[in-house]
Structure 1
Amino acid sequence: TANLSSEAANGTWQLRVRDVYSGDTGYLNTWTLTL
């Protein structure tokens, strides 16, 4: 959870996910952004 109340809502939003551990697997099943 991040408090983005001081950020402008217009523009391009990006979600970045990084797996920094080798030898395992994972996935991002779903995500939402509510403004």
Structure 2
Amino acid sequence: MIHSSRALVTLKPARQAALQAILTVEESRSRGARLFYAC
């Protein structure tokens, strides 16, 4: 059984970074923060 804390370690770096970005955005949105994208 893979623990959730170790699940991200087995992913590819790009996928891990993408998931981390999504988590960061979701956490910010839950706090009502507005994000500014440099695109």
> Which TM-score bucket, shorter chain as reference?
under 0.3
Using the size of structure 2 for normalisation, the TM-score is 0.23
Pick the structure with more helix per residue: 2
Higher radius of gyration, 1 or 2: 1
Using the size of structure 1 for normalisation, the TM-score is 0.24
